[in-house]
Chains A and B, each alone.
Chain A
């Protein structure tokens, strides 16, 4: 299965790195030159990384694993008010972005209160479109226990964050977050954010294992690159029109405008519409492409 990495090194001879990545069957996702330095974000099969590292070591560069680079994560707040934003929700979002994730902050329409709290069906569908979710709740155990019941049915990996350091009886919980008056920048806060990241990583690894046991028809990075070339959707630093998911991509263009072209794209000798489910997203009318697995298509592993 492809994983996402970033090469950080000098601009001198970086073309050799690019050539090596492509020779190993990898895909270059982004290049960010900054005067004499360059960052290259790429996707490569995990077993091949040590071949690349032989070259990068020679060039005094480093290759860093960005474990959430092929994921879109929802950070769910009870609402978009000063109680939850920017602290701690934006702190959680920023921290996960450092590990490569594309994050979306979702403010529930009525996620606050104790007796009036709800997550609507549409909100659940929007959250379920992501690869994982982080729910950021408040500081009272009794409230968190009530809100946890609504979250249990999600099939995507999720982490529940709250104030009490420990709550018995709920899974995937990280405490010491809750309500924060300021930015989470102390060493204890950073350790807490690391705990969130590590728990999420653990849960996502299980999903990756499932995917590698029943591989997808095409790797999502390959589909992303092919769609970018075919439809002319090259991104920039500030705009990424095709976002990776673990099992597909999200094309951030209106469904009515581009869904047919996306479905008719020929990638790896297949029509994309035949090897993937292409649906309208519940979020901003974008296009969700979910790759079918080889077992679904009756193709040998």
Chain B
């Protein structure tokens, strides 16, 4: 992810070049959507969250600190949106714990599909803090420092959450006979 390119795009947006924001959306829609998907576990909700996150990002682009990485800022907005959404659904007891997107892709065998569903189910059983740490590390490949930037927590806390989350996941998957 090129930081310079991102800075130029943000700068162009702030100069009134509206179309530059389209390039930002195009570049980050997949990771933002996937973060939302792993947190909410719903295809449609993840879609809505991704859209809302981008709209909020555009509206607050003037507050973006160019010294930070754009993706950290965007991911933070997306994570907060997803967690708020999830918590609001919990309040109404409407959380659907079945991933709507679990359609078999052409490359997935039945075994792989079952294994992936088991992993998704295990991740869903983690608390929000642990789940977000796992999603950012294992599904977005962020470093400890980058996760800390996104969540505004020290690196030490990132490690602690991630290590505990992995131990819990391991135990869940051993119990489910997947590991």
Q: Do A and B come from one complex?
A: no
